[in-house]
Amino acid sequence: MWLQHHQFKQCIEDWWSRMHRIGYEECKFKTELRKVKKKLKNWNKVFFGDVKEEKKLIKESSKKSYFRLCNTREATMVNQNIESGAVGIEQTQGKDLNDWLPITASRKAKWWYSAFHNVTAMVGAGVLGLPFAFSQLGWGAGFAAIFGSWAITFYSLWQLVELHEVVPGKRFDRYPELGEHCFGPRFGYWFVMPQQMLVQIATDIVYMVTGGKSLMKFVELLDHNVENVRLTYFILIFACLHLVLSQTPNFNSLKGVSLLAAVMSICYSMVAFITSIKKGIHHRPESYGVRSHTEVGKAFDFLNGLGTVAFAFAGHSVVLEIQATIPSTPEVPSKKPMWKGVVIAYVIVAFCYLSVGISGYWAFGQYVEDDVLISLRKPAWLIAIANFMVFFHVVGSYQVFAMPVFDMIESYLVQHMRFTPGLLLRLVARSSYVELYCISVEEVGSAQGKSMLWPGGSLDPRLEKLSGKRRDLIEIYSISLKILYR
């Protein structure tokens, strides 16, 4: 059965290649196309499969192909076989576009690459806010929120790993491609792509501000004479660093940066854990109640705490792209090494989150700050090092979250704007992205690095000046966005 299927399919491919060489005029081309359609209708579905799908492919190819007839009547054809809205396969100067785009240019990653990529994407600076979440939720609800979020995200990540190659012989390397498979070519693309880009870009904005703040805190702890330097200058330093790092050709080339970021995230988590334990031994609070004392305040704190925990479990928006860097064969599909790395990453995540969350709340109780490093204060040199580690971590995380954006921008410029793939296009496109959001991030930086409209942020201190009712409405909006996007 499958042999006959393959023979018929090979016949169709041979006919298609012959049409390319001959250079049929459009009228003759349509005549031959009708003949093939008639053959497909009469073909036994048991042996061939879905006839409609084969017809659809031929129709799309006919619409997206054109002939340029020379004086000798020899035809030259440029085949634009582009999947609707997603990055498909295009022959550009004899080279497959997927061999140039950053997500799929290199498929040589090992299983441990996926481990530290996932750690970099997930164990963000949000781990330092988990003690604060405990102070809003209490011991019982805090443990339930962390374990529940861990289990839910672990299961959903497993589903994404399985879906990467759910169709035999095809890999869904990007979220829009999977969206097209699930919801259809047009709706699936426009339903998934904007949401992913929103998460990627907004996360980069938050990390740019966080990186600037961490660097500023590091410098201030070392030299008190620079306390009056504006945050904007440190954000510019962060952006200048990314003007260089953004020229990394593909996702797999980020392995060194991502590994350093993963190590830094574990290190500053351990600094917070050990220092909190030492602090708690000598000055442990007598009670561990929640922060608010009114029923309304407790309700808002509870929702805000859930949002903080949910935001800490980030990283799913780059899972398919991480798996795309891993080679796949019929004997060893990419899901096997990917899943191995995911398990290791989630063990590290559980250890870091529980150790920091429990120790920070145990040491400071309901008076812990939203960043546990602020509560620690001393020794100053150790807190300075921890802030520098946070800086290095968000440098790597920024690149991990930016790669899908670079891939989307470059594929659009090549396929729709007809730019030639190359170093110049990469330099201009990626540098423009970094510069654009460096300019836009200044407003976020003026809000102390936390935009009230972005789900990863907390409330702006300026909201305290608003009326209680209006402030409550904005707080509900902020909390709902946190939970929705994480």
pLDDT per position as a tens digit, 197-214 = 999 998 899 899 889 989
300-314, 404-418, 465-479: the lowest-pLDDT one: 465-479
pLDDT score recorded for residue 476: 43
283-297, 327-341, 382-396: the lowest-pLDDT one: 283-297
pLDDT score recorded for residue 391: 94
Pick the more confident residue, 392 or 300: 392
Asked if the model's pLDDT at residue 293 lies above 50, the reply is yes
pLDDT score recorded for residue 336: 93
pLDDT score recorded for residue 467: 39
Q: How far is CA 315 from the centre of its chain?
A: 6
What average pLDDT does the segment 216-227 reach? 82
Cα atoms in the 13 Å half-sphere on the side-chain side of 132: 20
In the chain, the domains with their CATH numbers are 2-13+21-81 (no CATH), 111-485 (1.10.4160.10)
What average pLDDT does the segment 433-456 reach? 61
Segment of 221-225, 369-373, 397-401 carrying the highest mean pLDDT: 397-401
Asked if the model's pLDDT at residue 291 lies above 90, the reply is no
260-264, 269-273, 324-328, 464-468: the lowest-pLDDT one: 464-468
Asked if the model's pLDDT at residue 240 lies above 90, the reply is yes
Asked if the model's pLDDT at residue 451 lies above 50, the reply is no
Asked if the model's pLDDT at residue 161 lies above 90, the reply is yes
Asked if the model's pLDDT at residue 449 lies above 60, the reply is no
Asked if the model's pLDDT at residue 468 lies above 80, the reply is no
pLDDT score recorded for residue 13: 65
What average pLDDT does the segment 123-127 reach? 80
114-128, 161-175, 224-238, 341-355: the lowest-pLDDT one: 224-238
316-325, 368-377, 436-445: the lowest-pLDDT one: 436-445
Pick the more confident residue, 440 or 67: 440
Pick the more confident residue, 462 or 128: 128
5-9, 344-348, 395-399: the lowest-pLDDT one: 5-9
pLDDT score recorded for residue 428: 94
Segment of 18-27, 61-70, 375-384, 451-460 carrying the highest mean pLDDT: 375-384
Segment of 275-289, 302-316, 390-404 carrying the highest mean pLDDT: 390-404
pLDDT score recorded for residue 223: 79
pLDDT per position as a tens digit, 390-420 = 999 999 999 999 999 999 999 999 998 889 8
pLDDT per position as a tens digit, 10-52 = 666 665 566 555 555 555 556 666 666 666 566 555 444 555 5
What average pLDDT does the segment 354-381 reach? 85
pLDDT score recorded for residue 479: 44
What average pLDDT does the segment 216-241 reach? 85
Asked if the model's pLDDT at residue 193 lies above 60, the reply is yes
In this prediction the pTM is 0.71
Kindly indicate the confidence band of residue 285, based on its pLDDT and cuts at 50, 70 and 90.
low
pLDDT score recorded for residue 238: 93
Kindly indicate the confidence band of residue 87, based on its pLDDT and cuts at 50, 70 and 90.
very low
Asked if the model's pLDDT at residue 457 lies above 60, the reply is no
What average pLDDT does the segment 81-105 reach? 58
